């Protein structure tokens, strides 16, 4: 496994480079950009100011029509259009005075040193923004993943050992409904029912703490924290709970029907010893090895809509705002960091497979 691990480590930079090339190229062809957005904002402010000046001078209460691009001599000077020199200065500030390939190379050199620069629109570094938003996303990902695994694995084992029973049928209906309903739709339903949307106002709708909690005791702050987390974590748990439950059931069912289980029963071993002494290790292979990927998915992708719906200031909402505002340092910086983390955790997942079952040898298969 040492040679396999080294090969995978050497492939990580190449894979990461390919990911960045593809995304950078796609963004270059996307309409709009930070320079265009800034010019639009400046021109819009100039037109609004010109309308206000014109309206106040004529004594009218309604706004005057915005002047043409070059405007008249009496119009507000900012509405006469932006000079080419000023536009070039904006391009220089955003780094767009260089060709695309040069910008990409400089970006990758900085990222190789883990220097992700500063946001275009906030006077904060990308690393500082991520650190600021990370606690919210970690809270959502940690608690939802923990609950999913603690509930889904025992339920999946119970469904497999009681296949076809009333417990299996009833829980299967609940699992199907949970899998069919999108997480964001379930989140909206929770808000309508329990967050003052229409019926009950039992839970808060925004943030992870109530105002004035700074001086409260630890127990009070902890209760308030979980009170705020209840609805968003519930919305996240529904989809993951359904998928993992069925994966656990199918994994155990596949192992239960194998020959070594029949042999163990023929030797007179108890069902409990067969289940936890023989079946459990083999059936849990897929579940345990997939834990790192599941955690990353919940932390950085699965919580985006939930964060937006519940107004939680986390990584998901940060990424959504970065794409909307064309904040390229935040977009590409977080893409680079999380892609690198995902590639490393993919390797960790493969090594976990080998650790759980040493018979799996990726190196022997030419991995």
Q: Which CATH number goes with the domain that contains 185?
A: 1.10.3720.10
The overall average pLDDT reported for the chain is 77
Q: Are residues 226 and 329 in the same domain?
A: yes
Mean pLDDT of 271-286: 80
The confidence score (pLDDT) of residue 118 equals 86
Q: Are residues 274 and 152 in the same domain?
A: yes
Q: Are residues 51 and 160 in the same domain?
A: no
The confidence score (pLDDT) of residue 29 equals 81
Domain boundary among 112, 138, 163: 112
Q: Are residues 182 and 227 in the same domain?
A: yes
Domain that holds residue 263: 126-356
Q: Does any domain span residue 170?
A: yes
Of the listed ranges 31-35, 54-58, 152-156, 346-350, the one predicted with least confidence: 54-58
pLDDT for 190-246, tens place per residue? 888 888 767 788 888 777 888 877 778 888 888 988 998 888 888 888 767 877 888
More confident residue, 2 or 70: 2
Mean pLDDT of 241-253: 84
Q: What are phi and psi of 163, to 5 degrees?
A: -60, 125
Q: Are residues 295 and 201 in the same domain?
A: yes
Whole-number Å distance between alpha carbons of 39 and 45: 10
Whole-number Å distance between alpha carbons of 297 and 330: 19
Q: Are residues 185 and 230 in the same domain?
A: yes
Q: Are residues 133 and 100 in the same domain?
A: no
Is 31 a residue whose pLDDT tops 70? Answer: yes
pLDDT for 32-85, tens place per residue? 777 666 777 666 654 444 445 445 444 444 444 444 444 443 333 443 456 677
Domain boundary among 66, 81, 112: 112
Q: Provide the 3-class DSSP secondary structure of residue 268.
A: coil
The confidence score (pLDDT) of residue 14 equals 93
Mean pLDDT of 291-298: 65
**Confidence band for 16, pLDDT divided at 50, 70 and 90:** very high
Q: Are residues 62 and 183 in the same domain?
A: no
Mean pLDDT of 7-12: 89
Q: Are residues 150 and 102 in the same domain?
A: no
Q: What are phi and psi of 305, to 5 degrees?
A: -65, -35
Q: Where are the alpha helices (DSSP H) in the chain?
A: 2-29, 34-58, 84-94, 100-112, 126-161, 166-180, 183-194, 218-256, 259-266, 271-274, 280-289, 291-297, 304-309, 315-324, 328-356
The confidence score (pLDDT) of residue 146 equals 85
The confidence score (pLDDT) of residue 130 equals 87
Mean pLDDT of 317-329: 83
pTM exceeds 0.95, yes or no: no
Percent of the chain exceeding pLDDT 70 equals 76
Q: Are residues 174 and 288 in the same domain?
A: yes
Q: Are residues 257 and 311 in the same domain?
A: yes
State how many domains the chain has. 2
Q: Provide the 3-class DSSP secondary structure of residue 88.
A: helix
Domain boundary among 90, 112, 134: 112
Q: Are residues 165 and 241 in the same domain?
A: yes
Q: Does any domain span residue 9?
A: no
């Amino acid at each position: 496994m040492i040679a396999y691990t080294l090969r995978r480590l050497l492939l990580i930079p190449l894979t990461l480079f390919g990911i960045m090339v593809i995304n950078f190229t796609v963004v270059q062809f996307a309409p709009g950009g930070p320079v265009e957005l800034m010019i639009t904002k400046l021109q819009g402010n100039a037109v609004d100011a010109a309308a206000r000046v014109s309206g106040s001078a004529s004594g009218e209460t309604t706004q005057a029509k915005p002047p043409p691009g070059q405007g008249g001599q009496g119009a507000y000077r900012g509405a006469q259009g932006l000079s080419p020199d000023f536009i070039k200065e904006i391009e220089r500030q955003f780094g767009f005075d260089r060709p695309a390939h040069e910008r990409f190379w400089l970006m990758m050199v900085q990222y190789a040193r883990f220097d992700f620069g500063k946001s275009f629109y906030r006077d904060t570094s990308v690393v500082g923004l991520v650190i600021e938003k990370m606690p919210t996303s970690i809270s959502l990902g940690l608690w939802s993943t923990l609950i999913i695994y603690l509930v889904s694995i025992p339920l999946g084992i119970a469904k497999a050992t009681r296949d076809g029973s009333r417990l299996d049928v009833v829980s299967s209906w609940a699992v199907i409904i949970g899998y069919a309903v999108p997480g964001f739709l379930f989140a909206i339903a929770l808000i309508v029912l329990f967050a003052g949307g229409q019926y009950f106002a039992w839970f808060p709708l925004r943030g992870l703490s109530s105002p004035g909690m700074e001086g409260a005791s630890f127990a009070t702050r902890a209760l308030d924290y979980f009170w705020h987390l209840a609805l968003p974590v519930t919305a996240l748990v529904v989809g993951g709970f359904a998928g993992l439950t069925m994966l656990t059931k199918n994994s155990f069912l596949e192992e239960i029907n194998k020959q070594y289980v029949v042999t163990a029963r023929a030797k007179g071993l108890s069902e409990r010893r067969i289940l936890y002494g023989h079946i459990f290790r083999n059936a849990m292979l897929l579940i345990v090895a997939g834990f790192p990927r599941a955690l990353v998915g919940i932390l950085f992708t699965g919580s985006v809509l939930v964060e937006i719906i519940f107004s939680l200031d986390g990584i998901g909402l940060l990424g959504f705002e970065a794409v909307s505002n064309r904040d390229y340092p935040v977009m590409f910086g977080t893409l680079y960091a999380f892609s690198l983390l995902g590639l490393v955790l993919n390797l960790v997942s493969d090594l976990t497979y080998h650790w759980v079952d040493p018979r799996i040898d990726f190196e022997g298969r030419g991995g």
